[in-house]
Amino acid sequence: MTEKTWTVPVLLVEDRGAVRVLTMNRPEKRNALNSELTRQLLEALRAADKDEAVACVVLAGAGQGFCAGADLSEFKDLTPENHDLVEARAELTMQLHLAFSKMTKPVVTAIQGAAMGGGAGLAIAGDMAVMAAGAKIGYPETRHGIVAAIVMANLSRQVGRKAAFELVALGEPIGAQKALALGMVNRVVPDADLMPEAMALAEKLAAVKRPAMAATKQLFHEVADLPLAQALERGREANRRMRAFRKG
């Protein structure tokens, strides 16, 4: 009798109408980001952005937690002696966190359980975030003697400097209401309502006309870090381009 072995995918992909749901699927590891999951997630985000049938993406985690951050079991190989491996992993992680702002489609994150370190970075990397009332978010890297390096860039752009420094320096997790007050998430909902609320928000975003949504997202990320004069120039250029798609 031939025995069969089954490989469980580390990333689940499901289309619900115009919304594509990406679910990190390593619940036994609290969806920790190993190289395989990081690579598949990056590829899936890029694929969703190119797919004309997709208008919005929801990013979620299987099981009790959103994402525990980097898979520490891989750290044993990330040593100075393995320079190429260290460089490749750092580049992969950076590209994943950069992908959200490069997409033309909006991304909603659905945060349950724990979102820590790189997982916290993913939780706030989306354009909008829905967080379960019982969830926690934090950057505990300093407690392990390391730095919240790549995720710090996005955090410092979304949260005031004092609050951002406290999060990355002390490494203490915060609850959903605190995250809401800091502007890290858009909604806090009962745990049982997390996915229905995230889907409802995603469906609203998906209903916006595609050219308007794409231009809004592109302009938003362009002007966020520009001096006022340059940001207004970008706005003027976008205002001119709007005439090309207002009837679309």
Residue 183: which of 214, 119, 115, 137 has the closest Cα? 137
Is residue 139 classed as helix, strand or coil in its secondary structure? coil
C-alpha Rg value of the chain to the nearest Å: 19
Instruction: Please tell me the distance from the alpha carbon of residue 28 to that of residue 45, in angstroms, as a whole number.
Output: 23
Which residue among the candidates 91, 141, 203, 233 is catalytic per the annotation?
A: 141
Instruction: Please tell me the distance from the alpha carbon of residue 226 to that of residue 90, in angstroms, as a whole number.
Output: 26
* Measured CA distances, 157 to 96, 183, 234 (Å): 17, 11, 19
Residue 146: which of 123, 116, 187 has the closest Cα? 116
Instruction: Please tell me the distance from the alpha carbon of residue 199 to that of residue 40, in angstroms, as a whole number.
Output: 22
Instruction: Please tell me the distance from the alpha carbon of residue 220 to that of residue 1, in angstroms, as a whole number.
Output: 59
Indicate if 141 belongs to the active site.
yes
Q: Which two tokens stand for residue 2?
A: 């031939």
User: What residues are paired with 130 via a beta bridge?
Assistant: 110, 187
Q: Which two tokens stand for residue 32?
A: 């920790």
Identify residue 21 by its one-letter amino acid code.
V
Instruction: Please tell me the distance from the alpha carbon of residue 132 to that of residue 128, in angstroms, as a whole number.
Output: 14
Q: Which residues are catalytic?
A: 141
